[in-house]
Structure 1
């Protein structure tokens, strides 16, 4: 790995926070020891290492905490405390890392589809990145859970890429936006669509507040943890654990409430404080009671 002096680079971007940042600690967190030159190869390797180490999760929200996007809080949570986060947290942190290394990084806002048809108009609520390397733009997203790409995707209409055995396609949607699709066992799945308009930290802050407080937000209503693995992807939604492998139907298992802390620790690498764990178990017990009552009513 190159000398760690790059963590104190004088390069600053108008888009990303210029506060002090411990790049060495971040690289240790994701287990990265490769090159740090701003190349496509470095970008690809960093994205894969980040996804291997940092899970997607909303546990602060469902245990009574707040999601803060300033760099100091992101560094403390995702790096020092070795937690995960959702799109606004992960992509802002990753953008800061890339920016410090000399990459040209631009934010974009996406309209999540999650399987809905591409003509469906949904609100902008997702933060993603566009990184320019050697004159070419690449879609980079480390914050879209276990359906997201594991490597940069060239922003070109009709391009199809394979990340190991996972397949992705980028095309133009019926409303003229870029449409990211993922091939599942049952065909192409629409993830989200996005345009070319600039997107800044202030936009992410606004969307972050909405999705972490609105009562209809899935991140307010559900327990969520996901891991985007190279050969296996894991998703926890409330007390249902899903395992997805390339080309195969998902495998699902209902968890007992008492299993939850061990599953989070062993499958997702997430260890909560005793207070958070207690709050999470109480939340899960309520979910289990509601589910049991619904089954009795059927």
Structure 2
């Protein structure tokens, strides 16, 4: 049987009920709905379960099984939906710099998308965890652009772009990238590195995020934080497996996998220092 992407099922999964057409308003609305409904999470790498980025497997996991995923899953899924609607979408790849020096040489381990629309180019990215872009960013340098959450901007020099966001009055670089279109094999290699390389942090810590209207939810191991837009953050340390499970299911709406080592992995998560 030939596989065909189920756009209607995807729209139901993200709770999107308006008509869809390939315009900027729909693009922004789809991104906002996606990041609110489908959480960023790395349970599979943490459990040493292979991360498969063939579209059929991604749809089965993120759309039908009530799970989330990380950038290669999230942005492949969004790309399929946008293409089905009629957008012109190109896959790009980036080197993550968040929390690192500006000149750090990191692996090409992050997927993002370029959408060309009515003679203009826009960037979308629903897979960057706690700082996920919650809208569409015009491919234009040195312009501060609002989103549903923090402001963003792009810097450009010598063919290299940098995505930055403003957090607590400080601009920080998320990643750097160029505009060379990427082939599926590029993501296969990067996904294999990210999900299996012994030093990948996705194998050793739990990272979960969800971006809702007016707030972002972040979980790193046992440290659960709700960042309120324009307000104070609320932080709680999860004391045991039951609390971690409850937050994953209730706050992040994750249908937890039935894996024999899940509770063992959650119990082994370190407490904040």
Q: Check conservation: 1:117, 1:190, Cα contact below 8 A.
A: no
C-alpha RMSD over aligned residues: 1.9
* Paired residues, number: 271
1:213 aligned onto 2:196: yes
Q: Check conservation: 1:118, 1:179, Cα contact below 8 A.
A: no
Counterparts of 2:200 and 2:104, CA distance in 1: 18
TM-score, normalising length: structure 2: 0.93
Equivalent residue, structure 1, for 2:184: 201
Structure 1: gaps spanning 5 or more residues: 1-17
Equivalent residue, structure 2, for 1:73: 57
Q: Check conservation: 2:31, 2:126, Cα contact below 8 A.
A: yes
In the alignment, which of 127, 138, 156 is matched to residue 111 of structure 2? 127
Counterparts of 1:283 and 1:54, CA distance in 2: 22
In the alignment, which of 47, 58, 63 is matched to residue 63 of structure 1? 47
1:240-259 superposed matches below 5 A: 240-247=223-230, 250-257=233-240, 258-259=242-243
In the alignment, which of 265, 270, 273 is matched to residue 249 of structure 2? 265
Counterparts of 2:169 and 2:141, CA distance in 1: 23
Structure 2: gaps spanning 5 or more residues: none
1:20-35 superposed matches below 5 A: 20-35=4-19
Counterparts of 2:250 and 2:183, CA distance in 1: 35
Rg (Cα) greater in structure? 1
1:136 aligned onto 2:101: no
Counterparts of 2:202 and 2:256, CA distance in 1: 18
Counterparts of 2:166 and 2:212, CA distance in 1: 16
Equivalent residue, structure 2, for 1:169: 153
CA offset at residue 186 of structure 1? 4.4
Report the CA distance shift for 1:249/1:177 in structure 2 as closer, same or farther (over 3 A): farther
1:40 aligned onto 2:18: no
TM-score, normalising length: structure 1: 0.86
Equivalent residue, structure 2, for 1:182: 165
